[in-house]
Amino acid sequence: MADATEGGRVEDDGESVLGTLRAFFALERDVLVLSVAMFAFSLGFQMTGRYVPRYMSLLGAGGLAIGLFGTVGNLVSAVYPYPGGAVSDRIGSRLALTAFGLASTVGFLVWLAAPLVGTVTVDPSVLPLVTVEAVVLPVGIFLGLFLAQAWKSFGLGATFAVVKQAVPPERLATGFASTETVRRLAFLVGPLLAAALIAVYGFDLGFRAVLLVAAAFGLVATVAQHVLYDAGGDSLGKSFAGLSAIRADLRSMPPALPPLLAGDTLVRFANGMVYVFFVIVVTEFLAVDATLPLVGYLSPDALFGVLLAVEMVVALASMVPMARIADRVGLKPVVALGFSVYAIFPILLINAPADPLVVGLLFAFSGLRFAGLPAHKALIVGPAEQDAGGRVTGAYYLLRNTLTIPSALVGGYLYDAASPELAFGVATAIGLVGTGVFLVFGEEFDPNE
């Protein structure tokens, strides 16, 4: 009657309702604990990170500074995952995720103190090839970024490895769908909570309250994952051996990954060019507001949180069904769908009228890009050896994120020096090329090989 386990994997006998549900969502205890932590941290990230560019704008930052923020975030994402994955494989996911969680919690508090830290103004004469006005950099925002990204980026390899250890190879897409669904539920609740606080208190005071709530959730998640996570199932790999280990892991990357990596890199570069400007486009470029039944008037800042929630409703509704489809028809078509939505959304948004219904439908369409994420993650970690999931994931993201580091700065420069329309149009063109590369050269993952 009870679920049988072997090697930390769930094997359902199909005789109980709970067993059937666990088999469907591929939820083993450690994956459940990880999902809870993902929910809490994702709630904090989505309440804060999507609004930080707007926060910067009110502190005096322009398009180039906001683009620099995105590029520094890309740099952090590129640098953190590999050592995070190596540390996770070496000391175990429990200790690694606890340390990364504490760092992220402190990062939210540093963002809260950003107005007290002040700004630095860089004269454009010292910036070669830059023909924009002086660049205002809020120092506290950049300091907090290095900490706030810790759980998300340092812990990336650990989270992949936990699912890899707990879920049978043929159900990887469903296993990742379970964690992604819980995490994306926070993507729905977080923006709505942020929108409510901003609607009641205005952006200045409301966003400070948002940062405090995010820090509280981060602390609770860190304690919960440390206490509840069962470290006995961790499979520890080799220790980090410096740059030689990075080179070895890149050379030994499974042959199915390079085509995926090429297309993924182009799509992510395109998205990175404009991602930090979505909130600026909605709140300043389009300046779209709305009056909703039972809610009343929503300013552009508050409406942006509602738009993010709409995006997540579609994501949550489509993610698990698409993962089940991927288990049946293959991972590649589902990943390609997500890539194509990533590519098309920017050009549609920048050319949208300032109509809340139209913009809402566009964000609903954007939610479909998340439908391919579980299949995408399965396509990355699936070919890896059982005890090397953290390092393979870290090596993949190290290379991809390194290549996309300058994307936001490129987008910010085009946004300021040329026009928002050009920045978003170039992003769509690059994204479509990346989608085509994956469709032509991408490979399927066969768990039986």
Provide the phi-psi class of 129: left if phi over 0, else alpha when psi is between -120 and 50, else beta: left
State the DSSP H helix or E strand holding residue 6, giving kind and residue range, or none if neither: strand 4-6
pLDDT for position 13: 40
Q: In this structure, are residues 214 and 49 in contact, taking their beta carbons and an 8 Å threshold?
A: no
Q: In this structure, are residues 303 and 290 in contact, taking their beta carbons and an 8 Å threshold?
A: yes
CATH code for the domain of 385: 1.20.1250.20
Q: What's the helix, strand, coil split of the chain in %, to 5?
A: 75, 5, 20
108: confidence class by pLDDT, cuts 50, 70, 90: very high
Measure the CA–CA gap between 150 and 45, rounded to whole angstroms: 11
Residue 4 has pLDDT above 50, yes or no: no
**Of 83-92, 146-155, 287-296, highest mean pLDDT:** 287-296
Q: Which of 238, 211, 272 has the alpha carbon at shortest distance from 68?
A: 272
State the DSSP H helix or E strand holding residue 135, giving kind and residue range, or none if neither: strand 135-138
Mean pLDDT of 96-116: 90
Q: In this structure, are residues 232 and 343 in contact, taking their beta carbons and an 8 Å threshold?
A: no
235: confidence class by pLDDT, cuts 50, 70, 90: very low
Q: Is residue 397 part of a domain?
A: yes
Measure the CA–CA gap between 51 and 209, rounded to whole angstroms: 13
Q: Is residue 447 part of a domain?
A: no
Which range has the worst mean pLDDT, 110-119, 282-291, 354-363?
110-119
pLDDT for position 216: 94
Residues in contact with 52: Cβ distance below 8 Å, sequence separation at least 6, in sequence order: 69, 111, 141
Phi/psi of residue 123, nearest 5 degrees: -70, 135
Note the maximum CA span of the chain. Answer: 73
Number of domains in the chain: 1
- CA 402, chain centre distance (Å): 16
More confident residue, 28 or 300: 300
373: confidence class by pLDDT, cuts 50, 70, 90: confident
More confident residue, 138 or 446: 138
Mean pLDDT of 416-424: 93
pLDDT for position 193: 94
Alpha helices in 135-171 (DSSP H): 139-148, 156-166
Tokens found for residue 154: 């340092």
Q: In this structure, are residues 437 and 262 in contact, taking their beta carbons and an 8 Å threshold?
A: yes
pLDDT for position 264: 94
Q: In this structure, are residues 63 and 274 in contact, taking their beta carbons and an 8 Å threshold?
A: no
99: confidence class by pLDDT, cuts 50, 70, 90: confident
Measure the CA–CA gap between 213 and 209, rounded to whole angstroms: 6
pLDDT in tens, 267-304: 999 999 999 999 999 999 999 999 988 888 999 999 99
Mean pLDDT of 69-75: 90
Mean residue pLDDT of the chain comes to 80
Q: Is residue 7 part of a domain?
A: no
Measure the CA–CA gap between 97 and 77, rounded to whole angstroms: 16
Q: Is residue 4 part of a domain?
A: no
Q: Is residue 284 part of a domain?
A: yes
Which range has the worst mean pLDDT, 214-228, 298-312, 349-363?
214-228
Tokens found for residue 210: 């948002």
Q: Is residue 9 part of a domain?
A: no
pLDDT for position 287: 96
CA distances from 42 to 34, 179, 280 (A): 12, 11, 21
pLDDT in tens, 30-66: 566 667 777 888 888 889 999 999 999 999 998 989 9
Q: Is residue 446 part of a domain?
A: no
Measure the CA–CA gap between 200 and 188, rounded to whole angstroms: 19
Alpha helices in 299-353 (DSSP H): 300-329, 332-350
Tokens found for residue 199: 């609607």
More confident residue, 359 or 24: 359
Facing residues of 120 across strands? Answer: 137
6: confidence class by pLDDT, cuts 50, 70, 90: very low
Residue 27 has pLDDT above 90, yes or no: no
Q: Is residue 243 part of a domain?
A: no
Residue 155 has pLDDT above 60, yes or no: no
Residue 144 has pLDDT above 90, yes or no: yes
CA distances from 61 to 91, 121, 137, 280 (A): 41, 9, 6, 12
DSSP characters over 426-445? HHHHHHHHHHHHHHHH----
448: confidence class by pLDDT, cuts 50, 70, 90: very low
Pairing between β-strand 290-292 and β-strand 135-138 as defined by DSSP bridges: unpaired
Residue 87 lies in domain: 25-230+256-441
